[in-house]
A = this chain, B = another copy of it.
C-alpha cells in the first residue's frame, strides 16, 4: 500500500502542515473522528500484506545491525498483533470525547459567564523507539482527542511506520479530515528528532516513550513542553504490622504477574522487626516463581538462591524476574531509601498500622502511593480510563496514569453582554 495523498517533503513543511491541519481536527465532531478511527482499524487489517512486508524489511535490517532479541521482538508485527492493534483502535472509538467538556464555570456577579472548556493541544509530538504498535496507538488517541500528531518512531521501524502512517492518513482523508494531521518524520533521523524538540509554536506538547535514556534526552533537550512518561523503580515496604498473606500475595503479584512493565516492583524494603516473621514466606514464594533475589546481608539467609544486592541494583529498573530486598531499621529508613532511589512512579506499603499508612501516603512523593494493594494497579485501564496514554512521572499537567483528557488543554470561554471592568 502506498499513499495516494501527497506528503510534504521537508521536515519544516511537515510540521507546518500538521499545525495548519490542527484546526480542522480541533473542530471535528466526535462522529467524524470515530469514522477516521474505524477506517484506521479496517485499514490496518486490509493492509496486512504490505505492513508485514515492510516489517520484514525492518527486521532484516535490525538483525543485520545486531539489534537485541528484546528490541527485535518489540519491532515484530504479526497477523495476531495487527488484529490486537485494530481492536485497540476500536476501543478508542468507544471512549468519551473529552473535547468541549466544561471543567468548571460560573456566572460572575456582573452577569459575565465563564467556562473552562477542554480543547485539544493542537499538535502532539511523539518520540519512541522501534515499537510500530505505538504509531497506531498514539495516532488513534491523538485523533480522538482532536489533535494532529507528528510521529518520530525511530529508524529501526522506518518502513513499518511509513505504511502504518499511510493507513492513518488515508483514513483521515476518507473521513473528510486532513491527511496532514498525521505525519511521520523517521526519514530525517536524529536531526529530525532534534528539530522536533525545538519546534515551539508548531508542536504543542511532546511525549517521549521508551528507554530511560531516550526520555532523559528529550526531557533535558526539548524546548517544546514535555510530558514525561518515566521508568518505574517501584518499591514495596513491608511494615512491622504487615499481614503475612497480603505481603506474600501482593509482592508476588507485583513482581511476577508481568515483570517487564513499569508498575512491577523492583525493591522490597522490610522492617527489621518483621524480617524473621515475613521473609521466609515472601521470598520463598518469589523463588518458587523463578525470581532472582538480590538481598542485603540480613535478608540473604531467607532468600533461596539469593545473591548479594548492590547499590546499582537499588537504582535499576530490571523489567525482569529480579528483585532487590533490603531490611531497614524503621519507616523513616524505608522512606529515606525511597527518596533516594525512587523514580516517583508508584510505591506501596503493606501495613496494619493506620498512623504509618497515613505517614507513608503523605510523605512519599510519587505519582501513585498505595496501602495494601499491588503496584500493578497503576494503570489507566485499571483506574477506569478505558485506554492509557502512558503513565506520567512529572508533576506538571498530568501525574500518574493518563487518559484522553490528559491529551487536552483548556481554554476559558467568556460570554458577556457589554460588560466592562469598573
- Determine if B420 and A370 form an interchain contact, defined as CB atoms under 8 angstroms apart: no
Number of A interface residues, CB 8 Å?
Answer: 70
- Determine if A383 and B415 form an interchain contact, defined as CB atoms under 8 angstroms apart: no
Identify whether the interface residues of A are mostly helix, strand, loop, or mixed. Answer: mixed
Of the candidates B370, B383, B414, B418, the one whose C-beta lies within 8 Å of that of A369 is: B414
Enumerate chain B residues within 8 angstroms of A372, measured Cβ to Cβ: 415-419
- Determine if B399 and A409 form an interchain contact, defined as CB atoms under 8 angstroms apart: yes
- Determine if A395 and B409 form an interchain contact, defined as CB atoms under 8 angstroms apart: yes
- Determine if A420 and B253 form an interchain contact, defined as CB atoms under 8 angstroms apart: yes
Of the candidates B204, B250, B369, B374, the one whose C-beta lies within 8 Å of that of A413 is: B369
Question: Given A220-B200, A220-B223, A365-B122, do A410 and B399 touch, yes or no (CB 8 Å)?
Answer: yes
List the one stretch of A67-75, A133-141, A241-249, A305-313 in contact with chain B.
A241-249
- Does A373 count as interface, using CB distance less than 8 angstroms? yes
- Does A371 count as interface, using CB distance less than 8 angstroms? yes
- Does A173 count as interface, using CB distance less than 8 angstroms? no
A residues contacting B by CB (< 8 A) are 23, 26-27, 106, 108, 112, 114, 116, 119, 121-122, 200, 204-205, 219-221, 223, 225-227, 243, 245-246, 249-250, 252-254, 257, 348, 361-363, 365-374, 376-378, 382-384, 394-397, 399-401, 409-421
3 pairs of A and B residues whose beta carbons are closest in the complex: A373-B416, A253-B420, A395-B409
A-B contacts, 19 of them at CB < 8 A, read: A106-B384, A112-B373, A225-B225, A253-B420, A254-B420, A367-B411, A369-B413, A370-B414, A370-B415, A372-B415, A373-B418, A373-B420, A377-B419, A395-B409, A396-B397, A396-B409, A397-B397, A399-B410, A401-B412
